[in-house]
Amino acid sequence: MIKTLKEHTKIVRSVTFSPNGKYLAVGDICGTVEIWRVL
């Protein structure tokens, strides 16, 4: 399944999954990091 993360409005600089694949970390150009639980 693919989903657009519309809540992230800044330019994304980094995206990575946790080692267990259950979480996604997204970092933007301002230094904000958001953690998403992958379903």
Q: Residue 20: what residue type? A: N
* Contact (Cβ atoms closer than 8 angstroms) between residue 5 and residue 36: yes
Measured between alpha carbons, how far is 5 from 39 in angstroms, rounded to an integer?
14
How much is the pLDDT for 20? 97
pLDDT digits (tens, 9 = 90+) for 3-33: 777 776 789 999 999 999 999 999 999 999 9
With 70 as the cut, is the pLDDT of residue 1 above it?
no
Predicted TM-score (pTM) of this structure: 0.75
Predicted pLDDT at 3: 73
Longest dimension (CA), the chain: 28
Listing DSSP states for 7-18 in one string gives: T--SPEEEEEE-
- Please enumerate in sequence order all residues whose Cβ is within 8 A of that of 14, keeping only pairs 6 or more positions apart, or say none: 25, 26, 27
What is the pLDDT at residue 9? 79
